[in-house]
Structure 1
Amino acid sequence: MSSCTPFAILEIPPSISLDEEQFFDLCATNRNVRLERDTKTGEVLIMVPTGWESSERNSEFIVQLGNWSKRDGTGKISDSNGGYAIAGASRNPMTPDAAWISLTRLNTVPQEQRAKFLPICPDFVMELRSPSDNLKPLQEKMEEWIELGARLGWLIDPTTCTVYVYQPGQPTKRLDNATSVSGDRVLKGFVLDLTAIW
């Protein structure tokens, strides 16, 4: 669902430097668009919205992950509106289609900071490829999530019924035409029913 291709780019004059607080306020004021910021150029990117089918698939994923998370009780999930402002990221905030973070790590973030962009990387991230997405930028984004500290990542491509599994220090696994995928040691006991996604 997350698109790596911007719909438009807002060039910010060099005389204007948006800090994290100001950029959060800009995003909050413009809730009808999804904004990201390129940390190297300072450009503000207006991201392409997705179609209904991609949104429905992402909702199905969120429902399955959310139901497991409530039963498990050891962490919290976020959807594609949850931004993560992580030091060293190419874009801030980074916004996965879905994420899970352990309570142990979440509790290190002050409560007032949680109302804004979370300054740490989630333990698990998922990206859902929509028909308008190019695969390579999404793969690069998944690799960056792992470099930033995610312990597990799934790139789900409904167009080819493929799941790419990312973990630190391991080669990317490709699962073709799988009916389910396991959360392994990060999401203990979570098994995603892919038949509801395909």
Structure 2
Amino acid sequence: MTTLLIQAENIPLTIQIASMSQEQFYEFCLANRELRIERTATGEVVIMPPVFSDTGNRNIKISQQLANWADESGTGEAFDSSTGFTLPNGATRSPDASWIKHDRWNALSEEQKASFAPICPDFVIELRSSSDTLSSLQDKMQEYIDNGALLGLLIDRKNQTVHVYRPSQTPEVLDAPNSVSAEPELPGFVLQMAKIW
């Protein structure tokens, strides 16, 4: 049995459904493209509401900055919030923005790239929306780090903070920064925060 968790304004609705294989989960996502769907390492399926317009606007500004840097640097590939990745622990996650080094991305087969690629991004960004609890996003950020991410940024607009995650380090909390450097993991990438706050 699989748990289907529907996140609705901080009050999750839980429904028990039959367990799904990776292929069945992929088919479920294809049949429900309008939904934001993730799966935990234990197989729990999480359906999240669409973000409100202001959060979506800020998400695109984050993705735009990352994609522009990735194109200019030529060091890797950037992805937006619609991209799902299958992490080493079996979870399928869709960070708000992410980046993978070229050598790691190019090591995947075309078939793997055309699915929920079996890889944890090197860099992930999560932007807290009104339906996200801070603790659930902190857990998700730690999951990315535990599965191979080199750097993670959790942006909390409500509290005007950025939580910076790196392997084997306690998360660093920045208060209302004007910009956040991704050095040394992403040489030259600085996330400008003016249009994100």
TM over 0.5: yes
Give ranges in structure 2 of 5+ residues lacking alignment.
Answer: none
Match in the other structure for 2:53: 52
The whole-number CA distance in structure 2 between the counterparts of 1:11 and 1:5 is: 11
**With structure 2 as the length reference, what TM-score do the two structures score?**
0.90
Would the aligned equivalents of 1:126 and 1:155 in 2 still touch at CA under 8 Å? Answer: yes
The whole-number CA distance in structure 1 between the counterparts of 2:124 and 2:77 is: 12
* Matched residue type, 1:27: C
Pick from 24, 27, 31: which aligns with 1:25? Answer: 27
Match in the other structure for 2:86: 85
- RMSD (Å) for aligned C-alpha atoms: 1.6
Q: Deviations over 1:2-31 (max 9, x none)?
A: xx9724444223xxx422122112101210
Match in the other structure for 2:150: 151
Match in the other structure for 1:168: 167
- Residues 153/43 of structure 1: CA separation in 2 closer, same or farther (3 Å cut): closer
Matches within 5 A, 1:95-174: 95-174=94-173
What is the deviation of 1:34? 1.6
The whole-number CA distance in structure 2 between the counterparts of 1:141 and 1:5 is: 17
- Determine what percentage of the aligned residue pairs are the same residue: 45
Q: How many residues align?
A: 189
**Which structure ranks higher in relative contact order (CA pairs < 8 Å, sequence separation ≥ 6)?**
1
Matches within 5 A, 1:9-20: 9-13=14-18, 17-20=19-22
**With structure 1 as the length reference, what TM-score do the two structures score?**
0.89
* Matched residue type, 2:37: L
What is the deviation of 1:75? 0.4
